[in-house]
Chain A
């Protein structure tokens, strides 16, 4: 099996509050595989553990069980030093483009920083900043500006450029377009797809939006309450879902057509409600 990332039976529970209190499990035996150059869409609602899974892969959350194997190397528990070496291959784009860029640093510094941290000289790093900006369709003069001078979509492009700086093999995209306007969202998604075609990077694409997942994913995994309920190709999951939760998720998302939306509404109401808010 030539998978780039392989997560097996991953468990994660946060430390409990108080003595002998129950430790809530956020991830219950989750297993996913991502092949090189592939996009795996990870769908789920808030609290389903999808973001935690991403953070565990990035080394920002500590799993309590299971393994994460990246490129034939076990990266479940790495020392900070080993983690820094992995940084070259695993990168991230966060949801909120307003807090994921340091407000007091210029764009050029934000982009060159990861390159310098990997041992490249400052001047070489600064040369590649122009290429990175070009790759995400931003003008080269953006390097001397601060994040606050850019709109949400532009900031997300900068965050993508930062993730690309080290030419990683995998980028964890945690809801990268959900804070963006519709038209901007479409452009950023197209950019991500273009970059994937050019560089062969794999994405773990975390989102709650099924239409986004359908657009960008080769394979889709659906999470519900810390468990993986269904995996399959994007077409399988979005056209012929098997699990009830996936079905209700699909029918819940309103579509932009009044008449078909009415049909879907009736279908959904006929189905047993899956969540009780």
Chain B
């Protein structure tokens, strides 16, 4: 259900935008990037201002902003504030670059190596980085201050080293996930060198989180450098925001405005870096939002309903088990338009009848089945002229009513048996839970054990006590079938119940379903793409294509004389069990015969 139906050969034409352009589209990204670029430009062009930031004149002590020669005034030593501000900006940017650079390079290089190589290399490297992580970075930078010789650059290198475990862990964990992807295997088979695989495939895929982490590391480094300077560590000849705030702080009663300039610039700088990081994360990790789904809800549907004309005349007074008329399911697209995935689907299931709902991926067959169960995600807009189960009309928009029919009148068997069992509870407790409403615990347990034996589980007591990971996929599907029929449902909805299973197990599960169906007289709605399964189990077939029913009919007539062209195409695509490839291998035709007789 995740892939949109795209014709197989035609290539869709959609607009693609680079990450940078998408970043500039976002107000947050545009503003923060502009501010940051401006600050960097100012820092680079700073020396052109021509004032020595450390030159002090007694006559200019504490002159206010706008004084001749001092646009922002001068501090208590008579030094030009603007010149100091420009120099500080320079220092801050270099600090950020060094801190973030050192930690990113160290963390990324070792993270890539550890994550990709695994085993012993990973264990040793991870251990070393965990050790570094246990050191309190700030305290160590203070302790190591004497060996830096007062240079803020060296301090930032040390700080970068202590920040690197964060990047290392991020990169390593991302790489471990990517390493197991098939495209990395394919690259290895294609003969790419390890370096090329790492730089091109792995690093490129994980660049998003990495860029964001760089932004946050840079702002941390800038903050720490300013903080250290504020405490008076570092050369007094190097102007920095920390030193400037410290000076201004001492001077706060005389000239409070001096505190504004360094704080404001520092705030602008770190703020723009962090917000740019946020915007980048949004851009690079954008999944295409459902944000607008709520807005359009409840409007526009009435008009749709008026125009929709029912396909099938409502002749029978819903004597059947399930009756569905003109079901429509739509989703709101990121651009605000509605995409209809199920259009005007009407179907019936009679008591004791097995109906197959067939179609390819994206045909809307699962969406239809899930609407009857009320299990579609919140973003789906579901409506129908009529849904009646066991003769009672039910409103699709009433969650309580939908909940009432699930597990009682209607039961469900999923496609992936394993993911439908909670790994942290025993199978017994999960099955008993569904029954506990009407009977005592002991009764429920006895019922479940009997059911487990009925669905062909050899040792019911052991399975009852097992956790899901202790049983096989085929067994898990048996367990789920036991759970589904425990409430003696009238209608069983099975969504590709055997697709995830091996053929021999599939055959047994189909046998079980057929036996249970005739035993309990259930109606079954079987969603599948496998025509063999349909032929094995179903009385009637409904064929869906692109959200619409194209053909319904008795199982034999659909197979032998399909009416709709799409059904013919589907039936024609079934690989005939009588055709065996007969042409000899293109080369070496002679070699084959000698091998065939071997």
Contact = CB atoms under 8 A, between A and B. Distances in A.
Contacts of B585: 35-39, 196, 200, 202, 218
Contacts of B458: 276
Interface in A228-277: 232-235, 238-239, 248-249, 251-259, 261, 265, 268-269, 273-277
Nearest to A202: B585
Nearest to B4: A151
Interface stretch (B418-426, B483-491, B529-537): B529-537
A147 to B, nearest CB: 9
Contacts of A59: 188-189
B186 interface: yes
Contact of B559 (A153, A252, A257, A268): A257
Q: Which of B182, B509, B573, B575 has the most CB of A within 10 A?
A: B575
B400 interface: no
A37 B587 contact: yes
Contacts, number: 259
A154 B11 contact: yes
B16 interface: yes
A183 B570 contact: yes
A90 B186 CA distance: 11
A181 B529 CA distance: 8
A92 B185 contact: yes
Contacts of A33: 595, 598
A18 interface: no
Q: Which of A83, A151, A268 has the most CB of B within 10 A?
A: A151
B579 A261 contact: no
A118 B191 CA distance: 7
Interface string A145-161: 11001111110000100
Interface in A187-211: 187, 189, 193, 196-197, 200, 202, 208-211
A11 interface: no
B189 A253 contact: no
A102 B196 CA distance: 14
Contacts of A183: 8, 360, 569-570, 573
A218 to B, nearest CB: 6
B206 to A, nearest CB: 10
Contacts of A252: 503-504, 506-507
Interface stretch (B52-60, B246-254, B331-339, B470-478): B470-478
A247 to B, nearest CB: 11
Interface residues of A, number: 104
B561 interface: no
Contact of A99 (B182, B575, B579, B595): B182
A182 B194 contact: no
A182 B573 contact: yes
Given A58-B189, A183-B570, A197-B586, A99 B183 contact: yes
B193 interface: yes
Contacts of B185: 58, 60, 92, 94, 100
B12 interface: yes
Given A37-B586, A261-B535, A261-B536, A214 B183 contact: no
Interface in A106-142: 113-114, 117-118, 137-139, 141-142
A275 B204 CA distance: 45
A254 B190 contact: no
B8 A153 contact: yes
Contact of B8 (A2, A139, A151, A259): A151
A52 to B, nearest CB: 13
A102 B360 CA distance: 25
A25 B186 CA distance: 25
Nearest to A261: B535
Contacts of A137: 9
B11 A88 contact: no
Contacts of A189: 575
25 contacts: A36-B585, A36-B587, A59-B188, A60-B188, A84-B192, A87-B189, A87-B190, A91-B189, A99-B181, A102-B183, A104-B204, A118-B191, A151-B4, A151-B8, A186-B573, A209-B503, A219-B592, A251-B507, A254-B533, A254-B535, A255-B535, A259-B556, A261-B535, A268-B507, A277-B472
Interface of B: 3-9, 11-12, 14, 16, 181-183, 185-194, 196, 200-201, 204-205, 360-361, 456, 458, 472-475, 477-478, 502-511, 529-536, 555-556, 559, 569-571, 573-577, 579-588, 591-592, 594-596, 598
Given A102-B181, A253-B532, A257-B535, 7 more contacts: A35-B585, A45-B505, A85-B191, A154-B8, A193-B581, A211-B574, A265-B507
